[in-house]
Amino acid sequence: MRNPAATRSGYRLLDHTADMGIVVFGPTVKGLYEAAAKALAELLIEGPAPEEVQRLSLEIEGEDRADLMVNWLREILYLWAAKSLWLLETNVEHITSKRLSATVRMAPYDPTRQGIKTDIKAVTYHRIQVRRTTAGWEATVIFDV
């Protein structure tokens, strides 16, 4: 757990009876979305990062910042669920309230070296929030597990 008032990005878990949630924070909106993607990746997989990576360019849209966050994380989750690719690093290159473009470095999942931590099945709209704070930006996201 990191100090949300600091200038770094990070996240903390929300304990929930039925599912799993996170509160993500970052000094900038770009940092927030990057931190959210990394948080999802950390919750999904554990293990050493492989050497072989794929670079992908992603273009994501949304009706507003919250919808954009859900669609962004949905894309990361889809790459994992359908293609067994997990996120190592991301750079959000451009972001508005309804659109973002990013480069992601993905690695193929290797069950002999990595393990699945959490079976996250979907990114939900439940309690979805993206908001400014005095320290920067904060978002709440609930995952279906």
Partner 1 sequence: MEITLKRIDAYRWEIPATGKMRVPGIVYADDSILEGKEQNEPLQQVANVATLPGIVKASLAMPDIHWGYGFPIGGVAAFDWEEGVISPGGVGYDINCGVRLATTTLLKGDIATRLEDLVNALYRYIPSGVGSTGSISLSVSEEKKVLRQGSRWAVSQGYGEEEDVAHTEEKGCLENADPDMVSPRALERGRKQLGTLGSGNHFLEVGFVDTVYDETVTRAFGLFEGQVTLILHSGSRGLGHQICDDFLVRMTKSSKKYAFDLPDRQLVCAPLRSEEGTAYFNAMACAANYAWANRQILLHRSREVFYRVLGISPRDLGMRLVYDVSHNIAKKEIHVVDGKSRVLCVHRKGATRSFPPGHPELSPAYRAVGQPILIPGDMGRASFVLVGTQTAMEETFGSTCHGAGRVLSRKAAMKKSKGRSIHRELEDQGILVRWTGRGTLAEEMPEAYKDVSKVVEVVHGAGISRKVARLKPLAVVKG
Query: Which residues neighbour 116 within 8 Å (Cβ) at sequence distance 6 or greater?
Result: 44, 45
When the beta carbons of 111 and 134 are compared against partner 1, the nearer one is 111
Which three-class secondary structure state does DSSP give residue 76? Answer: helix
Q: Is 27 exposed, middle or buried (0-12, 13-18, 19+ CB in 10 A)?
A: middle
User: Whole-number minimum distance, CB 13 to partner 1, in Å?
Assistant: 7
When the beta carbons of 27 and 50 are compared against partner 1, the nearer one is 50
When the beta carbons of 60 and 95 are compared against partner 1, the nearer one is 60
User: Whole-number minimum distance, CB 145 to partner 1, in Å?
Assistant: 7
Q: Which residues of the shown chain bind partner 1 in the complex (CB under 8 A)? A: 13, 15-18, 20, 63, 66-67, 71, 74, 78, 81-82, 84, 115-119, 121-126, 128, 144-145
Dihedral sign for Cα atoms in the order 38, 72, 126, 65? positive
